[in-house]
Chains A and B, each alone.
Chain A
Amino acid sequence: MGGNSRIGIPWSDLPRELVERIADCLDTETDVLRFRAVCSSWRSSTTPFKKFPSTPLKLPFPFQAGGTSRVKHKGAYFSLAERTVYGVQLPESKEPSFWLVKIERSGDGKLRILNTVSDSQIKILPETQLPKLLNTLDFRIYEVCKAYTLRYTNPAKPKQNYEYKCVKKVVVSGDVKNDKYVIMAIDDVNKLWYIKSGDEKWTMVRDNCGSNNFLDVVNYKGQFYGIDVWGGTWVFDPMFNSTKITYNICRPASKRHLVDLYKGELFLVEEVTDKDKRVCTCYNFDDGCQCRFPRTPVRNTAVEITISRIDKGREEWVEEKTVDNQIIFIDRYICFRTEEKKAHYHDNDNYGYDDTWDYGYNYFECDCGVSSDDDAGTVDNFVPSDDVKLKFRGLHGHNTGVCDFATGKIGSLLMYPEYADIFWPPPSWLSSS
């Protein structure tokens, strides 16, 4: 390192303000923790990562004030829980080289380890209990993304503390310095709500053109963006006034997700499901459908997946045909992407690249809300063999699919062991140490 010899001072003696400002460029708690563990001068020049929100948040339950007068919910509230997806590099030099895990932190600071695909808490066999503490310095971990959920908490019934399934999406934005928050959430009937520090109740987003019917909401570059069932994209100002920034999309798609995909640009991932492809010959399309066409049961499973980007000039979403080698993960709460190369991350500046990963653009989807027994409801009606079911028992039955964007082919996650490996099983060191 020529620099050190020429100037004659080591990195640990960088001016304090420089160290501080370099640390400012780190945006995950894990990276800040590690930065502060390098040497004492770096540690003393920086402040610990500021958790946000700093105290556990209690939010009113339910969304609609007075919506439930039932005695059993008296005193109940929502608590905000944070979920982080971590990539953990496995110490054994085998495939897969990393494992993705979802960790949920609730208000008390304790962690639950979740099955990334099913969101259920990973239960380790009774004879191999989880270590009470896991020293993350011993493992190579990196933060992939963060998301939030609401937990139903009822002090009168301490056992009743569970993820509230009747919320489709929760996004949090805020002023970390002053610990002020703004939260937006989509409820089970696609209504978009918000609440901010100091509010005593949730407020429904004003019905602008009768469009409070949202499929997704994200915090993109500090602003809330939502997409409605017709494919119209809305941006919300700090007063929650909305402006429509794209036209509706003609083609129906039951599921639409906004993703900050790469290069800091907002993308739209759409799932056209079997329900969307259904052609109804009577005029009562949805519940009142008389003709029951087609006669096969509708599973609302994706049959086509597309990615689009906004064409600002034309104010519409335009399908993206060529995209980099990345993996996109989509589920109810979390949409994230990782560069395939990064997934195989090594201790040098050039990431290793593995040919077996050359699938182009891939996609995972989990629909735990409609998770079903065994074989029913799985993507593509794929029926795995008993061996595969056993090996990936944590993944089986959650309607998780993989879409290869190079070919457009969609299949069950279990058809792709090289991808299923990323999620299951939890590494042995986790359950045995």
Chain B
Amino acid sequence: MARKNRNPVGKNVDPEAQKKKTRTLTLKSSDGQEFSISESAAVLSIAIENMVEDDCAGGVIPLPLVDGGTLARVITYLNKHAEDGASDEEKRKFDEEFVSGMEMGVLFDVVLAANYLDIRGLLREVRRRIADRMKNKSVEWVRKTFHIESDFTPEEEEQMKKEFAWAWEGVDSDVDD
């Protein structure tokens, strides 16, 4: 519930921004857990910002597609990025550490949540991390890790075989040797 803010406001600070910092919202996960978060952090999510602007945020914001564990992680991210005085370098380092320890299942949840909540920075970070994990890995490894089964038709398989082939130039050697 948004609380009225009577705190003195710095001279050069936008009063609206200051209000957002002290107003808190409550986010409710799919499994019924509630989390408090400052409005300034919450609105880093474009989806939440829209809900706040449309004023459908009266009280608790339900997020039926995000479970509690994932929401807690996302909130950690939002809080860091809304933190006063956190330098870009600090945030970059935080992002790096934030995603580095995540196992695949967690990355999956977080990427879906970031997509649903429209948190661009987080989405970019997690997407990159998922791609990084796939780099230089065999197709088999990716399937195993991501629990995916091949569902290609024999024709597609044949087509892919062609894509993966290295066709050598004739055995002719280079010029005059």
Contact = CB atoms under 8 A, between A and B. Distances in A.
Nearest to A28: B135
B109 A6 contact: yes
Interface in A77-109: 103, 106, 108-109
A103 B115 CA distance: 39
7 contacts: A3-B109, A4-B108, A11-B147, A12-B151, A31-B134, A39-B148, A142-B135
Interface in B121-146: 123, 127-128, 130-139, 141-143, 146
B112 interface: yes
Contacts of B142: 34-35, 38
A132 B169 CA distance: 8
Contact of B168 (A10, A11, A130, A161): A130
Interface in B81-140: 103-109, 111-112, 115, 123, 127-128, 130-139
Contacts of B135: 26, 28, 31, 142
Contact of B138 (A132, A159, A342, A347): A347
Given A11-B148, A40-B152, A140-B138, A133 B166 contact: yes
Nearest to B138: A140
Given A21-B127, A25-B132, A161-B175, A137 B139 contact: yes
Interface of A: 1-4, 6-7, 10-12, 14-15, 17-18, 21-26, 28, 31, 33-40, 42-43, 103, 106, 108-113, 120-121, 123, 129-137, 140, 142, 159-163, 342, 345, 347, 349
Nearest to B103: A1
Contacts of B55: none
A183 to B, nearest CB: 23
B106 A3 contact: yes
B164 A136 contact: yes
Contacts of A14: 108, 111-112
A167 to B, nearest CB: 16
Given A3-B104, A31-B136, A161-B175, A132 B167 contact: yes
A1 B156 CA distance: 29
B51 to A, nearest CB: 20
A121 B173 contact: yes
Contacts of A120: 174, 177
Q: Which of A3, A40, A42 has the most CB of B within 10 A?
A: A3
Interface residues of B, number: 51
Contact of B174 (A4, A33, A103, A121): A121
A73 B136 CA distance: 43
A37 B160 contact: yes
Q: Which of A1, A10, A40, A129 has the most CB of B within 10 A?
A: A1
B105 A3 contact: yes
Interface of B: 67, 69, 103-109, 111-112, 115, 123, 127-128, 130-139, 141-143, 146-152, 156, 160-161, 163-171, 173-175, 177
B165 A2 contact: no
A3 B130 CA distance: 14
B106 A112 contact: no
Given A10-B148, A37-B139, A135-B164, 16 more contacts: A3-B107, A3-B108, A7-B108, A22-B111, A26-B135, A33-B164, A34-B139, A38-B139, A38-B150, A39-B149, A39-B152, A110-B168, A111-B169, A112-B168, A121-B174, A345-B136
Given A6-B109, A39-B150, A40-B151, A111 B167 contact: yes
B104 to A, nearest CB: 6
A2 B102 CA distance: 12
A34 B137 CA distance: 8
B115 A136 contact: no
Contacts of B115: 15, 17-18
B169 A25 contact: no
B156 A40 contact: yes
B167 A110 contact: yes
Contacts of A131: 168
Given A123-B173, A162-B174, A4 B165 contact: no
Contacts of B130: 22, 25
A378 B164 CA distance: 38
Given A34-B142, A159-B175, A111 B166 contact: yes
Nearest to A129: B171
Contacts of B146: 10-12, 38
Contacts of A21: 123, 127
A342 B151 CA distance: 31
B134 A133 contact: no
A236 B170 CA distance: 40
A4 B164 contact: no
Contacts of A347: 137-138, 141
Q: Which of B138, B142, B177 has the most CB of A within 10 A?
A: B138
Contacts of A109: 167
Given A39-B151, A132-B168, A134-B168, A1 B137 contact: no
A103 B166 contact: yes
Given A34-B139, A40-B152, A4 B175 contact: no
Contacts of A160: 175
Contacts of B147: 1, 4, 10-11
A31 B137 CA distance: 8
